Structure 1
Amino acid sequence: MENQTFSMDVLQLEGLKVSPDFSIPAFVLLLLIYIFIMVSNISLVVLIFMERSLHEPMYLLFCNMSINDVFGATAIIPRVLSDLFTPVTERYIYYYECVIQAFCGHFYAGASHTVLMIMAFDRYMAICNPLRYATIMTNRMVVMLSVGAWGTAFFLIVILIGLSARLSRCRRLVSAPFCDNASLFKLSCENILINHIYGLGTAMGTMACSLCSVTLTYLRIAMVCFNSKNKTVNSKALQTCATHLAVYLILLLSGNIIIILHRFENLSDERKLASLLFIVVPPSMNAVIYGLQIKAVREKMMIIFNRNKMKERNKMSMQN
Structure 2
Amino acid sequence: MRADEPVALGRTDLRVTRLGLGLASLGGLFAPVSDDDAARTIDRAWHLGVRLFDTAPVYGYGRSERRAGAALGRRPRAEYALCTKVGRLIVPGGGDTQPIWADPPPGVGPRRDYSYAGVMRSVEDSLERLGLDRIDVLHVHDPDEDFPVAVSDAYRALAELRARGAVGAVSIGVNHAPVAARYLREAEAPGPDCVMLAGRYNLLDQSGLDELLPLCAARGVAVMAAGVYQSGLLADPRPGAPHGYATVPAELARRVAGWHDVCRRWDVPPTAAAVRFPFGHPAVASVVVGARTPDEVDGTARMLAHPVPAGFWAAARAAGLLPARVPTPDGA
Q: TM-score, normalised by structure 1?
A: 0.23
Q: Which structure is higher in strand share?
A: 2
Q: Which structure is higher in helix share?
A: 1
Kindly indicate whether structure 1 or structure 2 has the higher relative contact order, using CA contacts under 8 Å at least 6 residues apart.
1
Q: TM-score, normalised by structure 2?
A: 0.22
